A and B are shown apart, each in its own frame.
Chain A
Amino acid sequence: MNLTLKIWRQKSATAEGQMVSYDVSGISADSSFFEMLDTLNQKLIMSGGDPVSFDHDCREGICGTCSLYINGRPHGPEKGVTTCQLHMRSFKDGDTIHIEPWRARAFPVISDLIVDRSAFDKIIQAGGYVSVNTGGVPDANTIPVPKEKSDEAFDAATCIGCGACVAACSNAAAMLFIGAKVSHLALLPQGQVEAAKRVQQMVACMDELGFGNCSNTYACEAECPKGISVSNIARMNREFLSAKLFAEKEKIIQDSL
C-alpha cells in the first residue's frame, strides 16, 4: 500500500505545531497501524529526520495508552478497537490519512501525537478508590453481590482510561470516563462507604481541570473501544443528585482548647 500521511508535528508543549505531510510506500495491508508508523519513523531516522512521537505500550488493546485521532475519529475507523488493534486493511491503497493528537484543554500536547492525560489520574485520586481495613484477608464471597449488579459493575470497570471519550466529545467532556468510574464502584457494596463523597469530589475535580459539560451527543459511547454505555453517565447524574440532596453532612468537630 502507498499512503499519504498528514501528521501533527509539535516539538514541545510550548512550541507551535502544524500538520506535516509524509508519503509511505510498500506497507502491507496486514500490518498494524503502529507498524506502519514504525516504518515511517525508521525512514525518518535513516534520513536524519526527527521521528514522530506517539504513545503506545501493550499493543494488544488492554492498556489504554495509545491515543491517535485518525481521520476525525479517536482510534480510527473501526468500532470497539484501540489504535494498536487497528490494521492497514481498514484503509485503501492511495488513501490520505490525517493523524492528530487528542484535543482538549485538560489534555495538553507534550510532543507531536502525545498528550498529557494525568488529568484522568487526578480525577481517580479525587475519589476513584475504596477504603479497606487492614488485618487478615477476608474469605472470598463473604459479601453477597447480585449477579446483574456485578455484571453492570464489570462492564463499567472495563474502561481503560484511554481518553477517546474526551477526544470524540464535541465539548471535550470527560463524563463517560467518570461515569464509568463512579458506576463501577457505586454498584458494588464495597463502594458504598464513600459513594456520596466520591461522586461529588470526582465531578468537582473534573470541572476544575477544564473538561466541558455533557450535551448528550453520545459520540463518547460510539467511540469507546470498550463500548461503555452512556447509561453510566445517567447513573453518575443520579448518584450526584442524590448525594447533593440527601447525603449526610460531615460534622466538623470544633477544636475546643
Chain B
Amino acid sequence: MLLYSSITKKVLMALAGLFLVTFLCVHLGINLMLLKGDGGLMFSEAATFMGTNQVIKVFEIVLFAGFLLHILFGILVSFQNRAARPTAYACGNSSETSFFSKYMFHTGIIVFIFLVLHFIDFYFIKIGIVAPPPGIASHDFYHRTLLLFSSPWYSLLYIISFLFLGIHLNHAIQSGFQTLGWNHSKYMDAVKFIGSAYSLLITVGFSIVPLYILLSK
C-alpha cells in the first residue's frame, strides 16, 4: 500500500469512493420506503432481501472492501500530505478555491464516526455482536429505526452526519472524475453540477426519514 505511487493511491480511492456513492443511492431507496406508512412492510421486505440474497451478499463483501480501501488510503494520503509541508505558513492560505475541498479528511472523519455508530446500531445487532434493545428482534430493522429516531438528539446527530456527508460528496464526485482522468471541457461542468445535485439529494433524502418519524409521532 505504501509503495503505490501517489496517482495509483488516488485512483483506487476514487474508484472505491464512486462505488460507495452508487451504494448510497440503493440505501436511500430502501430508507424512503419508511415513508410509505404501511407499518414498515415494504421496508422490512427490502431489508430481508438485502440480508438474504446471495448476489447482495457478494456485494456486501465488495462494499466492506470499498469502505476499508477508501478509509485507509484516505488516512494514508492525508498524513503524507501533511508531511509534505513540515513548516506551516505564518499567514494562512487565501487562494481562491472551494472552501470545503480542503477539509475532506475532517468531513471524512465525521462520516467515519457516524459509520461506526451506524454499524453498532444495526449491523452488529444483526450479526449478533451487540444485543438488541429489549422487545426488538435482532433482524427487526423497522422497529429499531423507529426507536432510534424517536429520540430528537439521535435524529439531530443523524442529520448533522448527513450534512457533513453532503459536504464531503459535493467535492468528492467531481474530484473522483478528475482523478480518473475524466475531465473534459465538454462535460466537466455537467459532472460538477450532477455531483452537487446528487450530494444535496443524499443529504435531504436521508434527513427526511427522521424528520418524518419525529413529526408524525
Q: Taking the nearest CB of chain A, how far is it from the CB of B83, in angstroms?
A: 7
A215 interface residue, CB < 8 Å from B? yes
Q: Taking the nearest CB of chain B, how far is it from the CB of A177, in angstroms?
A: 14
Say yes or no: A237 contacts B95, CB within 8 Å: no
Say yes or no: A212 contacts B81, CB within 8 Å: yes
Say yes or no: A71 contacts B94, CB within 8 Å: yes
B179 interface residue, CB < 8 Å from A? yes
- Known A170-B102, A234-B178; judge A106-B84 contact (CB<8 A): yes
- Known A100-B89, A103-B89; judge A173-B181 contact (CB<8 A): no
Q: Taking the nearest CB of chain B, how far is it from the CB of A129, in angstroms?
A: 21
Chain B contacts of A36 at CB under 8 A? Answer: none
Nearest opposing residue in chain A for B77, CB measure: A213
Say yes or no: B181 contacts A215, CB within 8 Å: no
Q: Taking the nearest CB of chain A, how far is it from the CB of B76, in angstroms?
A: 9
Q: Taking the nearest CB of chain B, how far is it from the CB of A186, in angstroms?
A: 12
- Known A217-B97, A238-B181; judge A103-B81 contact (CB<8 A): no
A218 interface residue, CB < 8 Å from B? yes
Q: Chain A CB within 10 Å — which of B87, B98, B104 has the most?
A: B87
Chain B contacts of A207 at CB under 8 A? Answer: 5-6
CA distance A170 to B81 in the complex (A): 8
State the interface size on chain B (CB cutoff 8 A): 41
Nearest opposing residue in chain B for A164, CB measure: B95
Say yes or no: A213 contacts B92, CB within 8 Å: no
Q: Taking the nearest CB of chain B, how far is it from the CB of A232, in angstroms?
A: 9
Chain A contacts of B92 at CB under 8 A? Answer: 72
Chain A contacts of B178 at CB under 8 A? Answer: 216, 230, 233-234, 237
Say yes or no: A173 contacts B84, CB within 8 Å: yes
Q: Taking the nearest CB of chain B, how far is it from the CB of A82, in angstroms?
A: 15
A29 interface residue, CB < 8 Å from B? no
Q: Chain B CB within 10 Å — which of A206, A216, A236, A241 has the most?
A: A216
Please, what's the 1-or-0 string for B27-43, where 1 marks a CB less than 8 Å from any CB in chain A?
A: 00000000000000000
Instruction: From A105, A223, A230, A238, give the contact of B83 (CB < 8 A).
Output: A105
- Known A103-B85, A211-B84, A241-B181; judge A223-B5 contact (CB<8 A): no
Say yes or no: B94 contacts A172, CB within 8 Å: no
A181 interface residue, CB < 8 Å from B? no
Please, what's the 1-or-0 string for A49-90, where 1 marks a CB less than 8 Å from any CB in chain B?
A: 000000000000000000001011110000000000000000
B86 interface residue, CB < 8 Å from A? yes
Q: Taking the nearest CB of chain B, how far is it from the CB of A181, in angstroms?
A: 15
- Known A103-B85, A103-B88, A231-B185; judge A216-B6 contact (CB<8 A): no
Instruction: From A170, A213, A218, give the contact of B9 (CB < 8 A).
Output: A213
A240 interface residue, CB < 8 Å from B? yes
Say yes or no: A170 contacts B93, CB within 8 Å: yes
Q: Taking the nearest CB of chain A, how far is it from the CB of B91, in angstroms?
A: 4
Say yes or no: A218 contacts B10, CB within 8 Å: no
B55 interface residue, CB < 8 Å from A? no
Closest 4 CB pairs between A and B? A238-B181, A212-B84, A234-B183, A171-B81
Since A216-B178, A235-B183 are in contact, a sample of 12 more A-B pairs with Cβ atoms closer than 8 Å, ordered by chain A residue number, is A71-B91, A72-B91, A100-B91, A173-B81, A213-B80, A215-B175, A216-B179, A217-B102, A219-B93, A222-B95, A233-B178, A241-B181
